Amino acid sequence: MTFTTPAIEWAPTAPFIVVLGAAALAILVEAIVRTPATRRLVQLILSLVALLAALGLVIVQWAMLKGAGTVVLEGMLTVDRQSLAWQAVLLVSGLLGTLLFAARTRAGEEAFASLGAASPGSTEETLARRKGLQVTEVFPLALFAVGGMMLFTSVTDLIFLFVALEVFSLPLYILVALARRRRLLSHEGALKYFLLGAFSSAVFLFGAALLYGATGTTAFAGVGTGIVGASGLDPIILTGAVFVVVGLLFKLGAVPFHSWTPDAYQGAPTPVTAFMGAATKAAAAAALIRVLYVALHPLAWELSWLIWVTAIASMLLGTVVALVQTEIKRMLAYSSIAHAGFILVALAGLPDQAVWALPFYLFVYGLATLGAFAVITQVRERGEDGTVLGEATRLGQWAGLGRRSPWLAGAMALFLLSFAGIPLTAGFVGKFVAFGAAISEGGWPLVLIAVIASAAAAFFYVRLVVLMFLTDVPEDQEDAIAIDYSPLARVVVIVTAVAIVLLGVVPGPVLAAFENAGVLLIGAAG
C-alpha cells in the first residue's frame, strides 16, 4: 500500500493556523513568563493580535475569493463564503469575549479564580490570592475554543467534525469551572456541562460511525450521495443521521437536549458565559447547516419531524421557564434556549434563505449576548463596609438601576429589546430574515408559534426593563448595589450597543454581505 502526502493549501487555512498557533504559543508563554502581571499582559496582547490578524486574513480572503470557494486538505475542509462569514462572526465574538476576560473591577479583581486547582475556602486559595496569582491560561483556552469553533464551521468530514467539536468543547469545560466567586456553583456547572457535553459528543460519534458503515465514507458530500445510493440500509442510515443531528442539537441547546444550558450559564464566570453563549450557538448552527444541507439532504423529509418537534419544544419551554426565573443569568440561559428554537425554525424544510439568514441572525444574537453579559459583570453587590463584591444577579437587585446608571441600564434595555426582536434593533432584522426563510418553504405554522413565543418572551425582557427604569430602589437597599466601571467591559458594551443600533436602523450593507454567504460549496465526493 502506498501513501501519498496530502497537499496542504496554506492560504485558505491561514486563519485557523494563526489562531491555533497563537494558542500553542500562548501555552509556551505560560511556562516562560513568570510574573503574573506581565504574563497577563503578554497573553492579552497575543490573543488580541492573533484574533485581529485572523479576522484580517478572513476579510482578505472574502475580498479575493473567486467563484464559490476552495476545498482544501483533501476535501476535509471547505473554505467558501459561508465558512468565511461564520469565521468572521466567531472571531468578532472571540475578540469581544477576550476583552471581557481581561476586564477587572476597579479594585483589580478578575472574573477568574486565582488558582484553579485550590479548593474553595482552603488555605491554598487564600495564599494564592494574597500572592496575586492569576489563571492566565484562560486566554490560550479561549483561543483554542475560537480555533476549534472556526474549524467546526468549515469542516466537511464527520470524523474531523468530531475532533473540532472536542477542540472547542474541552477548553470551555475548563473555563466554566474557573469562576472566582461562587466556586462551588461554578464547579457544579462545569461537571454537568462536561458530562452532558461528553455524552452528546459520544452520541454524535456513534452516529458518524453508523453513517460511515452505511456509505463507506465520512466526507459530507460522499455521505450525501451514499445515502441516495444505499438500498436496504435504512435503519442504520436513519439512526446514524438522527444521532449526528442530536449531537449537534445538544451544542445548540435545543429542548430536550438543553439541560446543561441553565447550569453552565449560571455557574460559569460571566465573561465565559458571554463568550460561550455567543460563540457556541453560532458554531453549532453553522455545523448543523453544513451537515443538514450537504450530508443529510436526501433525508430532509425524514429529519423534518426532529427539527419541528425540537423547535416547538425549545421555543415553548425556553419562554415559559424564563418567565419564572429570578436569577438574571439563568433567565438569559432560558432565553437562549428559546433562541435555539428560533434558529431551528429557520431550518425547517431546509430553505435556501436560511443559509445566509442564520449567520446574520447569530451575529446579532451574539452581539446582544456579549453586551448583556458585559453589563451583568458591572452591576455588583456592595458589602457592609463598602467593598465591591460579586455580581448582583438576583432580578430584585436590578430595581432602579436606571436611576443609578442611566447609560448602563439603557444599554441593557437595548440588548433585551434586541433579544425580543423589537423593530429598530438588530434582533428584529435577524428574526425577520430567519422567519422569512422558514415561510419560503411552507413552515408558516412554525413561524406562527415563533411569533407568539417572541411576544410572550418580550414580556420577561420588558419586565426587566420596567424593573430597571420604573421601579424605585428599595429604601434600605440604597447602598447595596455598586456600578463598577471596568474600561474593557465598557468598551464591549459600547461596541455591541452601537453595532445593534446600526444593524437595526441600516441593516442593508451588512445584510447584502451576508447574502453573498448564502452559497454552500459542495465539495467533490471522496
Partner 1 sequence: MDPINFVILACVLFAIGAAAVLVRRNAIIAFMGVELMLNAANLALVAFSRIHGQVDGQVMAFFVMVVAAAEVVVGLAIIIAVFRARQTISLDEPAELKG
The cell for 393 is 444577579
Handedness of CA 97, 156, 200, 245 (dihedral sign): positive
Closer Cβ to partner 1, 23 or 414, answer by number: 23
Handedness of CA 483, 487, 492, 495 (dihedral sign): positive
Please report whether residue 396 would count as binding partner 1 according to CB under 8 A.
no
Quick one: which segment of 92-100, 161-169, 342-350, 360-368 binds partner 1 (CB under 8 A)? 161-169
Closer Cβ to partner 1, 141 or 346, answer by number: 141
Positions 227 through 266 that interact with partner 1 (CB under 8 A): 262-263, 266
Which CB contacts under 8 angstroms, 24+ apart, belong to 507-514?
A: 507/426, 507/429, 510/360, 511/360, 511/429, 511/433, 513/85, 514/85, 514/356, 514/357, 514/359, 514/360, 514/363
Rounded to an integer, what distance in angstroms lies between the CA atom of residue 302 and that of residue 177? 39
N residues, the chain: 526
Quick one: which segment of 17-25, 77-85, 179-187, 410-418 binds partner 1 (CB under 8 A)? 179-187
Q: What is the smallest separation between the CB atom of 342 and partner 1, expressed in angstroms?
A: 22
If you count DSSP H runs as helices and E runs as strands, how many of each does the chain have, helices first? 20, 5
Please report whether residue 162 would count as binding partner 1 according to CB under 8 A.
yes
Closer Cβ to partner 1, 178 or 350, answer by number: 178
Please report whether residue 24 would count as binding partner 1 according to CB under 8 A.
no
Positions 297 through 336 that interact with partner 1 (CB under 8 A): 321, 324-325, 327, 330
End-to-end CA distance of the chain: 18
Rounded to an integer, what distance in angstroms lies between the CA atom of residue 124 and that of residue 129? 8
Q: What is the smallest separation between the CB atom of 116 and partner 1, expressed in angstroms?
A: 8
Please report whether residue 469 would count as binding partner 1 according to CB under 8 A.
no
Closer Cβ to partner 1, 83 or 217, answer by number: 217
Q: How many CA atoms lie within 13 A of 137 on its CB side?
A: 16
Q: What is the smallest separation between the CB atom of 498 and partner 1, expressed in angstroms?
A: 34
Q: What is the smallest separation between the CB atom of 256 and partner 1, expressed in angstroms?
A: 12
Count the residues of the shown chain that bind partner 1, applying the rule CB under 8 A: 47
Please report whether residue 352 would count as binding partner 1 according to CB under 8 A.
no
Handedness of CA 274, 275, 278, 281 (dihedral sign): negative
Closer Cβ to partner 1, 235 or 423, answer by number: 235
Q: What is the smallest separation between the CB atom of 481 and partner 1, expressed in angstroms?
A: 23
| CB-CB contact of 13 with 73 (8 Å) | yes
Q: What is the DSSP letter of 112?
A: B
Rounded to an integer, what distance in angstroms lies between the CA atom of residue 59 and that of residue 446? 35
Candidates 51, 203, 248, 312; binder of partner 1 (CB under 8 A) is 203
Positions 119 through 148 that interact with partner 1 (CB under 8 A): 119-120
Closer Cβ to partner 1, 389 or 519, answer by number: 389
Please report whether residue 33 would count as binding partner 1 according to CB under 8 A.
no
Q: What is the smallest separation between the CB atom of 245 and partner 1, expressed in angstroms?
A: 16
Rounded to an integer, what distance in angstroms lies between the CA atom of residue 364 and that of residue 343? 13
How crowded is residue 312: how many other Cβ atoms within 10 Å of its Cβ?
20
The cell for 116 is 484553579
Positions 261 through 300 that interact with partner 1 (CB under 8 A): 262-263, 266-267
Rounded to an integer, what distance in angstroms lies between the CA atom of residue 378 and that of residue 408? 9
Rounded to an integer, what distance in angstroms lies between the CA atom of residue 117 and that of residue 183? 11
Positions 78 through 117 that interact with partner 1 (CB under 8 A): 116-117
Quick one: which segment of 148-156, 182-190, 293-301, 423-431 binds partner 1 (CB under 8 A)? 182-190
Candidates 33, 41, 185, 306; binder of partner 1 (CB under 8 A) is 185
Residues that bind partner 1 (CB under 8 A): 1, 116-117, 119-120, 159, 162-163, 166, 170, 173-174, 177, 183-185, 187-192, 194-195, 198-199, 202-203, 205-206, 208-210, 212-213, 216-218, 262-263, 266-267, 321, 324-325, 327, 330
